[in-house]
Amino acid sequence: MRDYECARHEMVERQLARRGIKDARVLSAMRQVPREAFVAEGFEEFAYEDAALPIAEGQTISQPFIVARMAEAAELERVNNVLEVGVGSGYTSAVLSHLTSRVSAIERHAALAKKAMERLSALGRNNVEIRTGDGTKGWPAKAPFDAIIVSAAGPTIPMALKEQLAIGGRLVIPVGHENGPQRLLRIKRIDDNRYDAEDLGGVMFVPLIGDEGAQRPQSSG
> Is residue 151 annotated as part of the catalytic site, yes or no?
no
Distance of CA 14 to the CA centre of its chain: 21
Cβ neighbours for 17, distance < 8 A, ≥ 6 positions apart: 27
Choice among 62, 93, 104, 151 that is catalytic? 62
Single-letter amino acid code for the residue at 13: E
SS3 category, 1: coil
Are the beta carbons of 60 and 151 closer than 8 angstroms? no
Dist. CA 66–CA 180, nearest whole Å? 18
Residues found in the chain:
221
Q: Catalytic positions, please?
A: 62
